[in-house]
Amino acid sequence: MRNEKSTEAIAHAIRSRVFEHTIRNNGGYLSQACSAAEALAFLYNEGLNLGPSTMPMIPPPFTGVPSAQNPDYVTGAGYNGPFDAVHDRLFIAPAHYALVAYACLIEVGRMAPEGLEMFNQDGTSVEMIGAEHSPGMEVHNGTLGIGFSTASGLAWGRKRLGHTGRVCVFMSDGEVQEGQTWEAVQAAAHHRIDNLWAIMDVNRQQCDGAMDDVMTVGDIATKLRDFGAVVAEVDAHDLLGLRAAAATPHPGRPLIVLAHSRPTQGMESLMSRFPKLHYVRFKSEEERARINLEIAAELGIPPVVLEAH
């Protein structure tokens, strides 16, 4: 698929769309758009080899969970293109980044803007915490730390099948607090799984606040290398750097790109809420109105028109 927009423009549009959604709904995973906009825009627009979406632009309603009685069940993987031998697969490991991922799908032309109107609405597949059937989601990753393991198994299997398509995981740095992440990295290295790579959003934030206050994780790069991964470090908001990091050779090992991000990138006004950034819910109408004006100005877009109360 030839890309019509620049990755820079897509990243900006992701921030703008998530900002508008958050202001309108008086809450959202806004900081994740700040930290991850470039990474997700890069993956969808140039980093991954994805075929055209096989799913409708407007997401179908929820049609039930997987069961023997539900033979028509499909995951959201089709939004990332067909699952064939040559195309890449993408797992969004931190499923609460779903709002940002949905915004990205819209900006790269894989989902209609109406899809985001279904966000967190009962009976739709566009769930707040991305489910397996949500647009762009390929497996259930709602519990943090399982994404890289699943991707390792898929990558091992694809290699055995002779697929040229690779497996990519978008990860979050909080996941390194989970033991399973380390089990997964050591296993991927042990089995020389090198059709597997990840971009980790290192924003140093988690639900309770700054990671250094919640649970110190030390030097992630050194730890990952010690467990057998090839690691590249980059400024998450520097696309030239991301391109170079993603191209790092990693024969016989998985590659993990540590994308060091700022949780308020492009929306400095959010610093007034630091370190409570995991889920932005405005404390008052005054705060909502102020942040609406300030961030809109930063993004260079008109403020969201709020309905009168």
Q: Which uninterrupted H or E stretch holds 210?
A: strand 209-210
State the minimum distance, in angstroms, from the CB of residue 96 to other proteins: 15
Q: Which is nearer to other proteins, 121 or 143 (CB)?
A: 143
* Phi, psi dihedral angles at 249 (to 5 degrees): -65, 140
Give the residue carrying structure tokens 């019509």. Answer: 4
Name the residue nearer to other proteins (CB basis): 56 or 64.
Answer: 64
Give residue 61's identity as a one-letter amino acid code. P
Residue 50: C-alpha distances to residues 46, 78, 87 (Å)? 9, 10, 5
> Which residues have C-beta within 8 Å of that of residue 191, sequence separation ≥ 6?
152, 156
Q: Nearest approach, Cβ of 137 to other proteins (angstroms)?
A: 11
| Residues making contact with other proteins (CB under 8 A) | 65-68, 75, 132, 139-143, 145-146, 149-158, 160-161, 179-180, 183-184, 186-187, 190-191
Can you read off the two tokens belonging to residue 202? 């290192």
CB burial of residue 28 (10 Å; 0-12, 13-18, 19+): buried
Query: Whole-number minimum distance, CB 66 to other proteins, in Å?
Result: 5
CA distance 102 to 187: 31
Q: CB 184 → other proteins: shortest distance, Å?
A: 5
Give the residue with the Cβ less far from other proteins, 10 or 131. Answer: 131
In this complex, which beta carbon is closest to other proteins, that of residue 26 or of residue 143? 143
Nearer to other proteins, 67 or 284 (CB): 67
The distance of closest approach from Cβ of residue 191 to other proteins in the complex, given in angstroms and rounded to an integer, is: 7
Vertex 147, ends 145 and 148: CA angle to 5°?
90
Which CB sits closer to other proteins, 113 or 252?
A: 252
Cα–Cα distance for residue pair 200/172, rounded to 1 Å: 5
CB of 162 to other proteins, least distance (A): 11
- Based on CB atoms, which residue is closest to other proteins, 179 or 218? 179
Taking the complex as a whole, how short is the minimal distance between the CB of residue 91 and other proteins, in angstroms?
9
Bridge partners of residue 201, in order along the sequence: 172, 259
Q: Are the beta carbons of 170 and 92 closer than 8 angstroms? A: yes
Q: Which two tokens stand for residue 115?
A: 């899809």
